[in-house]
A and B are shown apart, each in its own frame.
Chain A
């Protein structure tokens, strides 16, 4: 770009519109690329799930029925149902079209379409995971900002230590410990399920919230550390930057420098991480949901694993992966909004 000290003439209308059009094209291209990348990844996931469950073990029916009393006739029946007598390409095509129609077949143990099961269990998981992400992000970011600002202080060291320790805790174990504490003893919080029987109408909201406390605490405890560490190191990086010195030189109070200049910049990498994590946390809920009998997708996945109920596991595998891909895509789309430098 040329540096001109001359007073600039008004930009001709024509030039302006040409620039706009190329800007639009660039933007479309950016979004198109991101969207295309996600679709490729999604296709790869579908491909993987097909081969993983059908090709690697040799005979999927034997894998599916492994360890279960099944007659030869039943096995044959299953083979026909899966179309395993047909050529591979044809099998894949029917599988692919099925997945695209959101048809993952019928679950073995429930004898119902996997899609229906997923539909029923989706909302409890979204509720639990969504709430946990909001809380752990808020907690992690807040503590991370405080830690970076007073870094090296006692409270910073304690906070970092606690966060790293909690990060090292297996979530299922923490859940069990919480149950041991609250199950027969105090009885302050329910340790199983999502709601009590016989509770109707508006009463259900506090009831569900009450049931959610322990699973929520478990999820938040093992997840927030990541946000804390990222926010802390990212803010530490920003605090050494020149523009922070500029802001202080302007006579701003430290707290304003932090709020208006350092934190918005430090948030950029953190927000991406939160989004990317969101997809993974859905799967992370498998253990917590299982421990607390929370009727969500995670528990469904666990029950599918222990049978093993392959159509169910397969469907959830695709769903979980799709969630990660979707969140990555959202992060990619959101980032330019937050950071003008990468705006296409």
Chain B
């Protein structure tokens, strides 16, 4: 790729950022996300070594907020603050990996179906339709039940059931891109299928995939918390959903231990909302029709 192309891409990126910046909600979402990512990365540094230990917990079980434990302790005597910090790792990991699977499959199949057309494409779209029709949560829950309880299962379940949405979007975008004259030119100049798909279609499909990605991470995190709450996650990971489930199990609801129930839920809402806001902001920049008008 030559310097001219890179210069153009850089300009595009700069323009993108200057438009994104005008969306206050999107910037807010980005800041929240940055904070959560930082927290997740620094979790081992900012929490004590025995933060997650059930056998040597730092405090006594089910204590209310105190100076030592600003949000109290859970049923094993672990600090709720540390639980939330470690939970962000689980949520973000699941969110990113599930989305990665979903986007990778969705983009691959979407571009293939859009590029080649014919009966293979119809078959592929038929399969997508079928996945779309199946309630993904049901399929996910069934998969998780069958494959056993672990983080990987949840990631696979979410990824496998959410790729069809991406595939449809990418296929539509691929068809739109391939209708442009320069694709014709690339073909006339002897560009093969692979060349056209990777050098021309992919760069034009990526922006829409980016918006889709951010929106999807949010819903993947929401789904993860649901799975964890349904008891399908790895019982030993401190996911936010699992923490809420644990709180319910020990009767935090009836004894009104708000510090046990509120924080993990608020954390989920914040992260999901942040992803949603960023995704909408990106969408707004890419699709001026969605931008506020008149």
A contacts B directly (C-beta below 8 A) = yes
Whether B226 and A165, one on each chain, are in contact in the complex, defined by CB atoms closer than 8 angstroms, is: no
**Bound-complex Cα distance A302 to B248 (A):** 15
Shortest B163–chain A CB gap in Å is 16
Interface residues on A, range: 35 or more
Query: B residues within 8 A CB of A228?
Result: none
**Bound-complex Cα distance A164 to B278 (A):** 12
Query: A residues within 8 A CB of B262?
Result: 177
- Top 9 nearest A-B pairs by Cβ distance? A168-B272, A173-B265, A168-B273, A283-B135, A168-B269, A44-B130, A320-B138, A41-B133, A170-B225
Query: B residues within 8 A CB of A321?
Result: 133-135, 138
* Given A176-B261, A305-B231, A56:B146 Cβ within 8 A: yes
Query: A residues within 8 A CB of B14?
Result: none
Q: Which of B129, B138, B218, B261 contacts A173 (CB 8 A)?
A: B261
| Residue interface bits B225-240, CB-to-A below 8 A is 1, else 0 | 1100111100000000
Query: A residues within 8 A CB of B232?
Result: 305
* Given A168-B273, A170-B226, A173-B244, A183:B130 Cβ within 8 A: no
Residue of A nearest to B241 (CB): A170
**Bound-complex Cα distance A152 to B291 (A):** 11
Residue of B nearest to A152 (CB): B292
Mind listing 11 A-B residue pairs with CB under 8 Å? A40-B126, A45-B134, A49-B142, A52-B139, A164-B277, A172-B229, A173-B261, A174-B265, A176-B248, A184-B256, A320-B138
**Bound-complex Cα distance A321 to B132 (A):** 10
* Given A53-B142, A305-B231, A168:B222 Cβ within 8 A: yes
| Residue interface bits A154-170, CB-to-B below 8 A is 1, else 0 | 00000001001101111
Query: A residues within 8 A CB of B169?
Result: none
Query: A residues within 8 A CB of B137?
Result: 280, 283-284, 286
Interface residues of A in 15-56 (CB under 8 A from B): 37, 40-41, 44-45, 48-49, 52-53, 56
Query: A residues within 8 A CB of B268?
Result: 168-170, 173
Q: A328 an interface residue at 8 Å Cβ cutoff?
A: yes
Chain B interface residue count, Cβ-Cβ cutoff 8 angstroms: 49
Binds B, one of A106-114, A211-219, A236-244, A253-261: A236-244
* Given A170-B226, A176-B261, A324:B293 Cβ within 8 A: no
* Given A184-B256, A313-B145, A305:B134 Cβ within 8 A: no
Whether B269 and A165, one on each chain, are in contact in the complex, defined by CB atoms closer than 8 angstroms, is: yes
Whether A184 and B272, one on each chain, are in contact in the complex, defined by CB atoms closer than 8 angstroms, is: no
Query: A residues within 8 A CB of B244?
Result: 170, 172-173, 176
Whether B273 and A164, one on each chain, are in contact in the complex, defined by CB atoms closer than 8 angstroms, is: yes
Q: A115 an interface residue at 8 Å Cβ cutoff?
A: no
Q: A264 an interface residue at 8 Å Cβ cutoff?
A: no
Known: A56-B146, A169-B269, A170-B229. 14 other contacts (CB 8 A): A40-B130, A52-B142, A168-B218, A168-B276, A169-B268, A170-B268, A172-B226, A173-B261, A180-B258, A184-B254, A237-B289, A287-B229, A305-B145, A317-B142
Q: A325 an interface residue at 8 Å Cβ cutoff?
A: yes
Whether B142 and A180, one on each chain, are in contact in the complex, defined by CB atoms closer than 8 angstroms, is: no
Residue of A nearest to B271 (CB): A168
The CB with the most chain A CB atoms within 10 A, among B230, B264, B290, is that of B230
Query: B residues within 8 A CB of A316?
Result: 138
Q: A306 an interface residue at 8 Å Cβ cutoff?
A: yes
Query: B residues within 8 A CB of A45?
Result: 130, 133-134
Q: A279 an interface residue at 8 Å Cβ cutoff?
A: yes
Shortest B230–chain A CB gap in Å is 6
Q: A63 an interface residue at 8 Å Cβ cutoff?
A: yes
Query: B residues within 8 A CB of A300?
Result: none
Query: A residues within 8 A CB of B135?
Result: 279-280, 283, 320-321, 324
Residue of B nearest to A310 (CB): B145
Number of A-B residue pairs at CB separation under 8 A:
126
Whether A283 and B253, one on each chain, are in contact in the complex, defined by CB atoms closer than 8 angstroms, is: no
B interface secondary structure, majority? helix
Shortest B260–chain A CB gap in Å is 10
Query: B residues within 8 A CB of A284?
Result: 137
Query: A residues within 8 A CB of B146?
Result: 52-53, 56-57, 63
Q: A190 an interface residue at 8 Å Cβ cutoff?
A: no
Q: A140 an interface residue at 8 Å Cβ cutoff?
A: no
**Bound-complex Cα distance A183 to B251 (A):** 12
Query: A residues within 8 A CB of B272?
Result: 168
* Given A180-B261, A305-B141, A305-B145, A240:B229 Cβ within 8 A: no
Query: A residues within 8 A CB of B8?
Result: none
Residue of B nearest to A174 (CB): B265
Q: B294 an interface residue at 8 Å Cβ cutoff?
A: yes
| Residue interface bits A264-303, CB-to-B below 8 A is 1, else 0 | 0000000000000001100110110000000000000010
Q: B170 an interface residue at 8 Å Cβ cutoff?
A: no
Whether A239 and B134, one on each chain, are in contact in the complex, defined by CB atoms closer than 8 angstroms, is: no
Whether B222 and A41, one on each chain, are in contact in the complex, defined by CB atoms closer than 8 angstroms, is: no
Q: A308 an interface residue at 8 Å Cβ cutoff?
A: yes
Query: A residues within 8 A CB of B269?
Result: 165, 168-170
Whether B253 and A176, one on each chain, are in contact in the complex, defined by CB atoms closer than 8 angstroms, is: yes
The CB with the most chain B CB atoms within 10 A, among A45, A151, A168, is that of A168
Q: B147 an interface residue at 8 Å Cβ cutoff?
A: yes
Shortest A261–chain B CB gap in Å is 16
Query: B residues within 8 A CB of A53?
Result: 142, 146
The CB with the most chain B CB atoms within 10 A, among A167, A173, A284, is that of A173
Whether A52 and B231, one on each chain, are in contact in the complex, defined by CB atoms closer than 8 angstroms, is: no
Q: B143 an interface residue at 8 Å Cβ cutoff?
A: yes
Q: Which of A52, A167, A325 contacts B143 (CB 8 A)?
A: A52
Query: A residues within 8 A CB of B261?
Result: 173, 176-177, 180
Query: B residues within 8 A CB of A305?
Result: 141, 145, 230-232
Query: B residues within 8 A CB of A317?
Result: 138-139, 142
